[in-house]
């Protein structure tokens, strides 16, 4: 998706406007652990993936982020985590899942 945006000269649109709110697409270019989707694991490892969505009627844009994983045989999105995006390449960036809270390991909050 990043190449789609860049090839059409739409970077400024996505850097300045997402769904009516200012957004920091620049942070996807290295800050915060986000990496290009082309580098996402294809071995069944779960990870966060994000995509820019645009409403064609209102031109509103926003990020949708999901936990997904690739089928270790095909390298494509596993059927159990299809959120309307049928290909990993429909997403623009990915990042590893954060570690679970320490409280859960200590039995707190039960």
Question: For residue 109, is it within any domain?
Answer: no
What is the C-alpha to C-alpha distance for residues 110 and 94, in angstroms, rounded to an integer? 32
Number of domains in the chain: 1
Where would I find the beta strands (DSSP E) of the chain? 35-36, 47-54, 61-68, 93-96
Report CA torsion sign: 58, 3, 14, 28.
positive
Per-residue pLDDT at 71: 84
6 assigned to some structural domain = yes
pLDDT in tens, the chain (110 residues): 445 555 555 555 544 444 433 343 434 444 458 999 999 999 989 999 999 888 889 989 999 999 998 888 888 888 787 777 778 888 999 999 988 777 656 665 55
How high is the pLDDT of residue 9? 56
- Whether residue 110 lies inside any domain: the answer is no
Q: Could you list the residue range(s) of the whole structural domain that residue 18 is in?
A: 2-97
Q: What pLDDT does residue 19 have?
A: 41
Evaluate whether residue 103 is within a structural domain. no
The pLDDT, as a whole number, for residue 28 is 47
Is residue 69 in some structural domain? yes
Q: What is the pLDDT of residue 49?
A: 93
Is the pTM higher than 0.85? no
């Amino acid at each position: 998706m990043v190449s789609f945006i860049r090839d059409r000269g739409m970077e400024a649109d996505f850097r300045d406007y997402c769904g009516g709110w200012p957004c920091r697409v620049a942070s996807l270019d290295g800050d915060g652990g986000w990496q290009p989707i082309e580098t996402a694991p294809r071995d069944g490892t779960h990870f966060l993936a994000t995509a820019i969505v645009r409403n064609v009627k209102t031109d509103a844009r926003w990020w949708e982020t999901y936990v997904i994983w690739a089928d270790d045989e095909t390298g494509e999105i596993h059927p159990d985590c299809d959120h309307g995006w049928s290909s990993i390449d429909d997403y623009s960036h990915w990042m590893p899942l954060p570690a679970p809270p320490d409280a859960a390991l200590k039995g707190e909050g039960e």
